[in-house]
Structure 1
């Protein structure tokens, strides 16, 4: 924010007792500081309310053109600008907000935006696309409602590898030094947020919600981006709460509550040609509740090469998670691949530490690595998982991996397999 209040707070320490002013230098410094304050305040543009551009918060009228007009005004301004979508319910057919722009822009959303229920009305892209910007902020307590129920019924991805493309709620493409904070993404038709080609982007205090039965509604998907921070958010969807695709580098995921969904996943990797390595992922202090998997790294059995390295899961709580800890290099959903071809994705320097809670299945830990490229540098420490079901004792399954153990492991991990034997 570039508001007056922020600037005023910054300079509130400049209270002067004039009886103590003994130095001409001090007076000049004080005067210069107030000149700087005045110049900063003067540099602010007045907020651009979309209603001034024709938007109506009647729950029906489409504000696409009004939002685009406000965006063009802000983007062409040499001063930092704020666009405001106030409280109320607004229809939004589609929006593409693009840069580069002349100065930083904040889009502040307090109301509810509703997508068309019919996915066919959203043409050639996503519902909301924001791209090619530096120092962009999306903030507020507003809601982006993708109204995805009709689209979920059309989703055939569980049966066909070339399934139809449904629109995401958001595509954040090629953003630098930007912040996405406070908003709610509801019932997206496909992914809620797709982050592509971004650098130094923070996503914080988000609420992302869709039913557990909604197919492919990943909460946040990151690909070919670096310096992405996901923090202090609640995500419950029908797929991964957070998924990291190829080219994800230096990603931090902290204080995320996930569930329902498929957990926090690296991959899947190795499905497409020319994939870039995943390097530097740090998942800390997260809680997973009633999810299909907890924390996992997954790759397809195929001839495509790739890599995932320097990946760390630490201080994770599992509550009734079906598969709490997973490395799966035989990932092949709906028989869309050939299991006879081992994965050529190299997984190394992966650690699981301080992970506790309950498993919803007897198989609590699965570390199944590639025969061609066995996992290297896997570290396991302080695991405490319990299973209270009727399917026998809690177990683990390991193949093509020799972990290093530290601290306490409950259950004993890889003991039956002796950490090296293929199951």
Structure 2
């Protein structure tokens, strides 16, 4: 207690509030390759144990860091808020032997965290992407996620930058009331599995006004997710905005109540995609999803439901259908250009055909061929209204 009082006294004399905690005061060094993880975690512990709302300051500078965990719950006081103001450039350790848990920056079990600032989280993935063999090996070891959020509530991340993640940039798991906005996420289009934002087993998530350029999905929505609102996304390059892949494991939870709107997808492999594994053991469901006011710029698969998803290995045919049930999906006002002949692909499960799939005002041209784009459908009878380009499936 005496140490905390003395620390507060120093801060007040210096013109700062008692609730401010600067990583420099706990030994952080913004130069060289000194591992700053302990200094950052010591700062977090002091702030979390202070019993008051606190702000952690990361000043400008280059901070080399190994894996760091920031966990709660913080000291039990009413209305506590933890804020992290990031202005520095954090560089991830490139030695994979120093990542025992598979995450670089980990936040967990915190209620009321805000991360703001123009700081950069640099995964330095270009040094180790060549070690990713997941395209050939189903049992591959995943490379570290840059920022993982687990069991969080009432979280805001605003304005920060993630570049060259080793794997996923932002992983949001087991959380509720999570808001991500004004993010910049950059990785080369050939960087493997560098999904921009992955959301799984979450309730009430908002993602808005983000520029996402990756070698994986711009946004990936996994199992057990509900009430997700996505808007103002500039996606590309990458693999588009995806629900799934789903159904690979038994007892997966449903995905429902998702809105994706007012976004631009450019130069990606896929645009709006729902993907479930063929021959899947899970009998989960995907329903009540709306895609609205989306512009496609030279997207290879602009609209795709794929229930025979199989990215590697020997793939089953339609005789081994997905057990995931897809229903109540609306594509409304989707327009732009396709980089392939087929602009709309709806490949549904033979066991559980897609139901209540609506396409309203679809206007997608083939930008590389003089012939019109096509639709490709299987085990589905969608409904159509308004403009339809390509022509509906027969």
TM-score above 0.5, yes or no = yes
Q: Which stretch shows the higher mean deviation, 404-413 or 159-168?
A: 404-413
Aligned counterpart, 2:50: 77
Aligned pair partner of 2:326 in 314, 336, 347:
347
Aligned pair partner of 1:364 in 343, 349, 355:
343
5+ unaligned residues in a row in structure 1: which ranges? 1-43, 419-423
Aligned pair partner of 1:120 in 92, 97, 100:
97
Distance 2:54 2:357 in 1: 48
Aligned counterpart, 1:45: 18
Aligned pair partner of 1:252 in 216, 222, 229:
229
> Post-superposition shift, 1:94?
1.2
Q: Which stretch shows the higher mean deviation, 380-389 or 242-251?
A: 380-389
User: Taking structure 1 as reference, are residues 298 and 391 closer, same or farther at Cα in structure 2, changes over 3 Å only?
Assistant: farther
Aligned pair partner of 2:310 in 332, 336, 340:
332
1:398 aligns with 2:373: no
Distance 1:67 1:150 in 2: 24
> Post-superposition shift, 1:46?
3.3
Say if 2:102 and 2:142, in contact at 8 Å, map to a contact too.
no
User: Taking structure 1 as reference, are residues 164 and 255 closer, same or farther at Cα in structure 2, changes over 3 Å only?
Assistant: same
> Secondary structure at 2:217's aligned position in 1?
coil
Tell me the C-alpha RMSD between the 2 structures. Answer: 1.2
Say if 2:19 and 2:53, in contact at 8 Å, map to a contact too.
no
> Post-superposition shift, 1:218?
0.5
Deviations 1:228-273 (A, max 9, x none): 1000000010010000000011011100000000000000111111
Distance 2:288 2:171 in 1: 23
Which structure carries more helix by proportion? 1
Question: Which one has a bigger Cα radius of gyration?
Answer: 1
What is the count of residue pairs matched by the alignment? 372
> Secondary structure at 1:335's aligned position in 2?
coil
Distance 2:251 2:206 in 1: 25
Distance 1:280 1:120 in 2: 40
Distance 1:412 1:390 in 2: 16
Aligned counterpart, 2:285: 307
> Post-superposition shift, 1:68?
0.8
Deviations 1:314-372 (A, max 9, x none): 00000010010001101111135423410110000000011111100111000111110
| Aligned ranges 1:15-414 → 2 under 5 Å | 45-102=18-75, 103-302=80-279, 303-335=281-313, 337-339=315-317, 340-390=319-369, 392-414=371-393
> Post-superposition shift, 1:165?
2.1
> Post-superposition shift, 1:152?
1.0
> Secondary structure at 2:145's aligned position in 1?
coil
Deviations 1:30-49 (A, max 9, x none): xxxxxxxxxxxxxx633111
Q: Which stretch shows the higher mean deviation, 142-151 or 56-65?
A: 56-65
Q: Which stretch shows the higher mean deviation, 56-65 or 279-288?
A: 56-65
Distance 2:18 2:230 in 1: 34
Q: Which stretches of structure 1, 4 residues or more, deviate above 6 A after TM superposition?
A: none
Deviations 1:199-223 (A, max 9, x none): 0000000001110001111000000
Distance 1:192 1:388 in 2: 31
Distance 1:123 1:69 in 2: 20
